[in-house]
């Protein structure tokens, strides 16, 4: 069990998959949670379910590619619950999957706007509040694609490499100020993204049997674990959920 009582968390991309699982796990361990996503329907429903279970949750629409919307979501978090202690930069996309020579420049740009700028926007908006307290945790959802090239994923690989670099830079700038910045590379997770990857038929990942993908709840639990002192060992780098030792420490196996 991880004690996050009194902590306030904002999770981006919280309408489904890893983001939803993270929000539910954070609330389970005592955090007050704000769910952010581009559309309101699902996050309002999930926040309502969390609240009905006895925890505290709120929702806010937010396109992470737009800095002002991210800053507004941070303000909503602070105004609603009085602080922001945890930021989970989860929002991310992989479509359109395509080889470079036939890729759509606008689609490629959109992935960078969400997967890279979205992480920067979250850090930029949250850190001033964390610096005031002298404490905070930022978890950036990463991928093995951050360090490994895959056919058809030039946008995704480049974006996750950039996100890893942001994790490293933010750690260097804020570690001595009490802010923990970590990345989490979950491996393949049973979400809509894997359905899209499967449909593309490009590169070995699309050929994986769905049975090998881990449930998003494992990722949600690991995010909570990283928000405790256990996360100190992963400051400025990516923690891999493929690591059996990590899985055992989290308690998902």
Q: Give pLDDT tens digits for 57-76.
A: 999 999 999 999 999 999 99
Q: Residue 197 pLDDT > 90, yes or no?
A: yes
- Separation in Å, CA 22 to CA 15, 40, 178: 11, 17, 23
pLDDT tens for each residue of 8-29:
999 999 999 999 999 999 999 9
CATH T-level fold of 8-248? Rossmann fold (3.40.50)
Please report the pLDDT score of residue 170 as a whole number: 98
DSSP state of 105: H
Is residue 234 part of the annotated active site? The answer reads no
Residue of 29, 67, 120, 156 marked active site: 156
Mean pLDDT of 40-47: 98
- Does residue 151 contact residue 204 with C-beta atoms inside 8 Å? no
Instruction: Using DSSP, state whether 60 is helix, strand or coil.
Output: strand
Strand partners, 130: none
């Amino acid at each position: 069990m991880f004690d996050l009582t009194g902590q306030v968390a904002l999770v981006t991309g919280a309408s489904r998959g890893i983001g939803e699982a993270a929000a539910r796990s954070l609330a389970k361990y005592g955090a007050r949670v704000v769910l952010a996503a581009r559309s309101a329907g699902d996050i309002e429903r999930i926040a309502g379910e969390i609240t009905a279970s006895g925890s505290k949750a709120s929702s806010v629409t937010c396109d992470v590619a737009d800095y002002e919307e991210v800053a507004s979501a941070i303000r909503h978090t602070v105004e609603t619950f009085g602080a922001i202690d945890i930021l989970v930069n989860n929002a991310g996309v992989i479509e359109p999957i395509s080889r470079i020579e036939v890729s759509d420049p606008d689609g490629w740009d959109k992935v960078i706007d969400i997967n890279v700028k979205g992480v920067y926007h979250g850090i930029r908006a949250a850190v001033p509040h964390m610096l005031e307290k002298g404490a905070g945790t930022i978890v950036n959802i990463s991928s093995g694609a951050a360090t490994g090239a895959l056919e058809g994923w030039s946008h995704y690989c480049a974006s996750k490499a950039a996100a890893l670099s942001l994790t490293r830079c933010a750690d260097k700038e804020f570690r001595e100020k009490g802010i923990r910045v970590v990345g989490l590379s979950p491996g393949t997770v049973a979400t809509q993204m894997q359905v899209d990857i499967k449909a593309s038929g490009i590169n070995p990942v699309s050929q994986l049997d769905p049975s090998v993908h881990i449930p998003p709840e494992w990722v949600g639990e690991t995010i909570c674990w990283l928000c405790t002192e256990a996360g100190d060992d992963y400051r400025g780098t990516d923690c891999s959920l493929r690591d059996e030792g990590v899985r055992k420490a989290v308690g998902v196996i």
